[in-house]
Amino acid sequence: MKLEFDLNGRQVALDVPERTTLADCLRHHLMQTGTHVGCEHGVCGACTVIVDGAAVRSCLMLAVQAEGARVTTVEGLSSDEALSPLQASFRKHHALQCGFCTPGMLTTAHALLSEEPEADKARVRKVLSGNVCRCTGYIPIVEAVYAARPAYRKK
Ligand code: FES
Ligand code: FES
């Protein structure tokens, strides 16, 4: 099926088999391999991308459902020149080790803070509770997201 959508601020048009998930479309058709695939059934959160402002599991969404949407992957969170404030906060707080969960953590946190820049730690924990990390113990991730809040406040 033919489809078109906005990917990280750039319009893309492609032809994919009907049953292609958005995750596979991003990784295999558009070579956006920052979106990771772990469980492939909506449990781990590694594949989370932002679709029209909402964090979604791209392994549970068909690519054709993204027709006309605005899709942001981890590649779209920063420029080539610099890390985003959220990414810099992850680095500063040692919020990643192997990095497999990190794209999903970043996209989930970015969607949260874009809507709720005053989210407290309990809210951050709740929203990130659907994302699995096997390395960090979560505390540095919560600290990093919490510390990045000023960057999302309206100037
Ligand atoms: S790969 Fe999509 S939630 Fe795990
Ligand atoms: S940093 Fe390894 S799974 Fe989270």
- The answer to whether the CB of 50 falls within 8 A of the CB of 32 is no
Which residue do the tokens 């596979």 mark? 24
Phi, psi of 132 (to 5 degrees): -95, 135
Q: What sections of 1-117 are H helices per DSSP?
A: 22-24, 85-92, 102-115
Whole-number Å distance, alpha carbon 98 to ligand 2 midpoint, is 5
Distance CA 47, CA 82 (A): 23
Q: Which residue lies with its CA nearest to atom 4 of ligand 2?
A: 133
Looking at residue 45, the DSSP 8-state letter turns out to be -
pLDDT of the residue at 14:
97
User: Residues with beta carbon inside 6 Å of ligand 2?
Assistant: 96-101, 133-136
Four-CA torsion 3, 5, 10, 12, nearest 10 degrees: -10
For residue 12 and ligand 1, the question of a CB distance below 6 A is answered with no
pTM of the model: 0.96
For residue 59 and ligand 1, the question of a CB distance below 6 A is answered with yes
pLDDT, block means (10 residues), the chain with 155 residues:
97 97 98 97 98 98 98 93 95 98 98 98 98 97 98 84
Q: Residue 44 CA: which ligand 1 atom is closest? A: 4
pLDDT of the residue at 155:
57
